[in-house]
Structure 1
Amino acid sequence: MPVKLSKCVSLAAVFFAAASFQAANAESALRPLAGYWLGAGTISMKNGTSERIRCKGSYAISPAGNALNQSLLCASDSYKFDVKSNVFENSPGVLTGSWGETTRNATGQLSGRVAGPHILADVAGVGFTAAISITTRGRQQSVTISPTGGTDVVRVAVSMRKE
């Protein structure tokens, strides 16, 4: 699998972490979302092919409720990735963070904003950028990743549920 595709999919982990900052009151929104999540999704390519991925994640919230440490392991029939990320709400509605994919030694940064249950974020790593849209409702998260450079991926869509 090309490294660029792997980096795109690896960025999905960052978006799951950012989804936990979906409410104006981050403290009350984060605490119920801490724990284990399971889900699946699809990666769509420029050549028209797509592939299913299965994911499991673990989320730990800081005592202050404004930071999240996340670990996400995802696998398909042809590859797997293991991502660790740190996301912070430094001021109300403003997100920043970093991520790293351990099996491919890839890293990057994120920035975004919260608007109700929705997050709009931009991510960047070496040779890759993407726009992210996240909606969190109760025990469900849906994430859409739209790469804007550096990959053959046109869309990543993943749904997770809290265990």
Structure 2
Amino acid sequence: MKFQGAAVALVAALMVGLSGLDSHSAHSQDDSAFAPLLGWWKGQGRLGFQEGQTENVTCRATYVLGDVPTKLEQNIRCATSSGKVEIVSHVTNDDGELSGTWTERIYNLVGDLSGAITERGYRVSVTGGDVGAEMEIIVKDGMQVIEIKFSGNTLRGLTLVLKKG
């Protein structure tokens, strides 16, 4: 539980640091709103289950632009002492509105995502027949915080703190 408190504090600090940025200045490089995400990231976090148990995770994430700067592929792979989690998203940006598909391959969760680019980063909702989730990604100074809250399945939440590179 100490890690969870530290992760919440880090998320809050990053949110305060980003609150003065508008979405245009935060995402203007490389002609893509996804530019702050691009590349390879690694770090650690916590994975929570509906039954109440939590596990430490070690993760890596990659973000690659599609054939145009408005399309992004996100891959997050995490390992725990008892298993793994693997999330793949295909996202399209239409003037700040996000849409696409979201899949967790180990637990076989599939859904459609929708959301927006915010002053803090990226916020999406995932809905589908077998998954409901809220996901927020905050990026600042070579660090990334990912918070996913699941509803209606085995997973309860995933909190990650990643560093570029």
Structure 1 stretches lacking a partner, 5+ long: 1-21
Query: Which residue number in structure 2 is paired with residue 162 of structure 1?
Result: 164
1:82 corresponds to 2:83:
no
1:127, distance to aligned residue in structure 2 (A): 2.5
Query: Which residue number in structure 2 is paired with residue 140 of structure 1?
Result: 143
The correspondence for 1:71, drawn from 69, 75, 86, is: 75
- Corresponding residue pairs, total: 140
Query: Any residues of structure 2 matched to 1:1-163 within 5 Å, and which?
Result: 23-24=23-24, 25=27, 27-31=31-35, 33-62=37-66, 64-90=68-94, 92-147=95-150, 149-163=151-165
Query: Aligned pair in 2 of structure 1 residues 93, 142: CA closer, same or farther (>3 Å)?
Result: same
1:45, distance to aligned residue in structure 2 (A): 3.6
TM-score using structure 2 length? 0.70
1:94, distance to aligned residue in structure 2 (A): 0.5
Which is worse superposed, 43-52 or 93-102?
43-52
Query: Aligned pair in 2 of structure 1 residues 125, 77: CA closer, same or farther (>3 Å)?
Result: farther
**Is the Cα–Cα contact under 8 Å of residues 33 and 139 in structure 1 kept in the other structure?**
no
Query: Aligned pair in 2 of structure 1 residues 150, 85: CA closer, same or farther (>3 Å)?
Result: same
1:104, distance to aligned residue in structure 2 (A): 4.9
1:129, distance to aligned residue in structure 2 (A): 0.8
**Is the Cα–Cα contact under 8 Å of residues 37 and 139 in structure 2 kept in the other structure?**
no
Identity, % of aligned pairs?
A: 27
Q: Distance between the aligned counterparts of 2:125 and 2:138, measured in 1?
A: 15
Which secondary structure state, in structure 1, belongs to the residue aligned with residue 73 of structure 2?
strand
Q: Distance between the aligned counterparts of 2:119 and 2:110, measured in 1?
A: 28
Q: Deviations over 1:26-54 (max 9, x none)?
A: 63553353221111111234444211111
Q: Which has the higher contact order (CA 8 A, sep 6+)?
A: 1
Q: Distance between the aligned counterparts of 2:23 and 2:143, measured in 1?
A: 14
RMSD between aligned residues: 2.5
TM-score using structure 1 length? 0.71
**Is the Cα–Cα contact under 8 Å of residues 70 and 85 in structure 1 kept in the other structure?**
yes
Structure 2 stretches lacking a partner, 5+ long: 1-21
Query: Aligned pair in 2 of structure 1 residues 123, 58: CA closer, same or farther (>3 Å)?
Result: same
